[in-house]
Structure 1
Amino acid sequence: MMTAGTDSKAPSYAILVAGLVLAVLACLAGSVATGYAPLDLPAAIGDVLAGRQSLPALVLLELRLPRALLGLLVGFSLGLGGAAMQGLLRNPLAEPGVIGVSAAAALGAVLVFYSGVAGTVALALPLGGIAGAVLATLLLLALARRGAGTMTVILAGVAVSSAAGALTALALNLSPNPYAALEIVFWLMGSLADRSLEHVWLVLPPMAVGWALILAGARALDALTLGEDTAASLGFDLGRLRLQLIAGTALAVGSAVAVTGAIAFVGLVVPHLLRPLVGHRPGRLLFVSGLGGAVLLLLADIGLRLVRIQPELKLGVVTAVIGAPFLFGLIWRLRRSA
């Protein structure tokens, strides 16, 4: 169980936020400037501002900028959702996928692939993923509204995740075209490549609503570290908090998965790295975890482009390689502290 506390060595919260914002901006600029081919960035920006349809301007608007913006949005959603789930469950091993929305979003996208609609409608893939996430969210909220406890909702999330994973595997198994099945597998590995500004505008509204719902629960999460009874005595409605955080995480993370595929471990790793810097306060951890998630995802995406391997490494594979050793280290540390 996680508890609130203070850390005399923790930096000022304002300084921490300012430092992370600067790091996000630096990573965003680095992502725009990084690619497999050289790009005269000042000339590209000048052409865009002047309205000229030059090759550098097209590369910037159609390839570099959407990839960088999605890295920021998706990383922020994963980091924020991870901090929210760890604070709600008071469990350091919780992460956004525990409510099952990620798997449901992946299933929605896979069904669009399987039906062949993805080849005829430009945004069919992310729309299918968002539809899967919305259906999973409605199911979880229906359970939570009937007075179910936190653990019951989480068990429902595990059941949704298992069912979605099984149906995804079934769709792959029954796919009549092996090339289509291979394309689905590659998409499920997670990537920011080959996305457009249309994808950015598609996911930004549901993500923004999800962020607002999660951040609005910051004070209640701080109170929850004192125990559910104490939080209730302080005037916080735990049922409402549960609905709020689950809906917010589902909207933010489900939208991310719908566009990029599954990107693991960001929501697990980032809150652990930043928790000591906010005095172990889950409310303050929310926003800084979002910023930290954006930094981590942008750095990972820049790194895989600097490693000139063809075909390009998938971002979900890179984050898994980074996160798996961290998880083993975390488990070892928890065993020693126990």
Structure 2
Amino acid sequence: MRSKNYPVPLPLLFSLLGLAVVAAFVGSLLVGPADIDIGELLAAVLAGEEGSTTLIFYEIRLPRAILGLMIGATLGLTGAALQGFLRNPLAEPGIIGVSAAASLGAVLAFYFGLASLFALALPFGGMLGAALGVLVVQLLAGKSNSPLTFILAGVAVTSFAAALTSLALNMAENPFAALEIMFWLLGSLADRSFEHVWLSAPFILLGCLILMTVARPLDALTLGEEAAQTMGFDMGAVRRRLVFGTALSVGAATSVAGAIGFVGLIVPHLLRGLTGNRPSLLLPASMLGGAALLLTADIAVRLLSPGRELKIGVLTALIGAPFFLYLVLQQRRRLL
């Protein structure tokens, strides 16, 4: 029986989202520049044969699909959590400076030549940058639970990190290094290995687990901050968990894949009405929706430009920017 609060029965909604994730994950494993017959690929993998076919599957496509799954789920979850906490429909993971700070850390690894010394310098630099960025946001926001103070602190960190990133690009002596930095900043899942998966997975999974613990407080927050505090929720502690979880998960995701925007903005909006505007339902739904969206976008970049692969951050921006404009216009009409 359909509830008036849920246009689609919840079991059906989550089943459809789960099927979408599975279909996108399998599609990501089967699509690529190498012309491999699907039957040949499946037969080689199932038989455990060694050769170019299984090498492509295990070393290129499988880690790429796993990263797409984890990063998409992270972006969708953090977007839903931040929108619920800040009560701002335009909030997304980059609003607290994590993405910009992680990007700066990775860019500095490029700039000082650390990335050429060992491959994991790039993700390590990104995660260190994210940690420092979140620390600064916490110090700037202080003990205030005001969403405005929190947003302003995030904007300040984002602006400063973006300025330092631009400075590094401007001062780079090697034009090839500057070009490599620019390509990385566009965001991509290409050429990632299981080293990137093992490095980022613990932080992403831990961050997502922490974020799921704020589901009930966010449900209470829909009644107002005073009502949430009356129900026994410490909003200061909720904010710290939210920031820490976002820093771990989005920082790790950005450090291995670059900046991929708009996923955390789009997915919660598409699913909010289907979950009855309940954060405790929207958070897991956004995890599934984000994973399905990013995996589908990663398939699309391989199909749209097989010669010189389109960066996934560019594609999500091309999709997300018009959607963002639609949200702005919708908000303006509500205020009139």
TM-score w.r.t. length of structure 2? 0.95
1:245 aligns with 2:242: yes
Give 1:16-31 correspondences, 5 Å limit. Answer: 16-31=13-28
Task: Say if 2:77 and 2:264, in contact at 8 Å, map to a contact too.
Answer: yes
1:10 aligns with 2:7: yes
Q: Distance in 1 between matches of 2:117 and 2:323?
A: 41
Partner of 2:270: 273
Superposed CA deviations along residues 8-34 of structure 1, whole A, max 9, x for unmatched, are: 452222221121111101100001000
Decide which of 317, 324, 328 is 1:327's aligned counterpart.
324
Task: Say if 2:59 and 2:194, in contact at 8 Å, map to a contact too.
Answer: yes
1:125 aligns with 2:116: no
1:142 Cα deviation (Å)? 4.3
Identity of aligned residues (%): 56
1:189 Cα deviation (Å)? 0.4
1:155 Cα deviation (Å)? 1.5
Partner of 1:79: 76
3-state SS in 2 of match to 1:280 = coil
Decide which of 149, 154, 173 is 2:151's aligned counterpart.
154
Partner of 1:314: 311
Kindly tell me: are residues 46 and 326 of structure 1, through their superposed partners in 2, closer, same or farther at Cα, counting changes over 3 Å? Answer: same
Task: Say if 1:45 and 1:57, in contact at 8 Å, map to a contact too.
Answer: no
Task: Say if 1:82 and 1:96, in contact at 8 Å, map to a contact too.
Answer: yes
1:120 Cα deviation (Å)? 1.5
Superposed CA deviations along residues 10-62 of structure 1, whole A, max 9, x for unmatched, are: 22222211211111011000010001122244544554555543100110011
Partner of 1:217: 214
3-state SS in 2 of match to 1:296 = helix
1:167 aligns with 2:164: yes
Unaligned stretches of 5+ residues in structure 1: 1-5
Task: Say if 2:145 and 2:235, in contact at 8 Å, map to a contact too.
Answer: no
Task: Say if 2:76 and 2:268, in contact at 8 Å, map to a contact too.
Answer: yes
Partner of 1:297: 294
Q: Distance in 1 between matches of 2:305 and 2:10?
A: 38
Task: Say if 1:141 and 1:247, in contact at 8 Å, map to a contact too.
Answer: no
Decide which of 56, 61, 74 is 1:64's aligned counterpart.
61
Kindly tell me: are residues 202 and 230 of structure 1, through their superposed partners in 2, closer, same or farther at Cα, counting changes over 3 Å? Answer: same
1:90 aligns with 2:90: no
Q: Distance in 2 between matches of 1:133 and 1:239?
A: 21
Task: Say if 1:105 and 1:258, in contact at 8 Å, map to a contact too.
Answer: yes
Kindly tell me: are residues 334 and 295 of structure 1, through their superposed partners in 2, closer, same or farther at Cα, counting changes over 3 Å? Answer: same
Task: Say if 2:99 and 2:251, in contact at 8 Å, map to a contact too.
Answer: yes
Superposed CA deviations along residues 181-219 of structure 1, whole A, max 9, x for unmatched, are: 011001100000000011111111011111011111111
Task: Say if 2:141 and 2:153, in contact at 8 Å, map to a contact too.
Answer: no
Query: How well do the aligned residues superpose, as a CA RMSD in angstroms?
Result: 1.7
Q: Distance in 1 between matches of 2:324 and 2:83?
A: 14
Unaligned stretches of 5+ residues in structure 2: none
Task: Say if 2:214 and 2:242, in contact at 8 Å, map to a contact too.
Answer: yes
Q: Distance in 2 between matches of 1:315 and 1:33?
A: 18
Q: Distance in 1 between matches of 2:75 and 2:13?
A: 19
Q: Distance in 2 between matches of 1:7 and 1:189?
A: 42
Partner of 2:232: 235
1:314 aligned partner, one-letter code: K
Superposed CA deviations along residues 285-318 of structure 1, whole A, max 9, x for unmatched, are: 1110111111111111111111135321110000
Q: Distance in 1 between matches of 2:209 and 2:137?
A: 19
Partner of 1:203: 200
2:53 aligned partner, one-letter code: P
1:135 aligns with 2:132: yes
Superposed CA deviations along residues 137-172 of structure 1, whole A, max 9, x for unmatched, are: 233344556445333232211111111100000000
1:231 aligned partner, one-letter code: A
Which stretch has the larger CA shift, 26-35 or 7-16?
A: 7-16
Q: Distance in 2 between matches of 1:139 and 1:49?
A: 50
Q: Distance in 2 between matches of 1:28 and 1:278?
A: 24
1:254 aligns with 2:251: yes
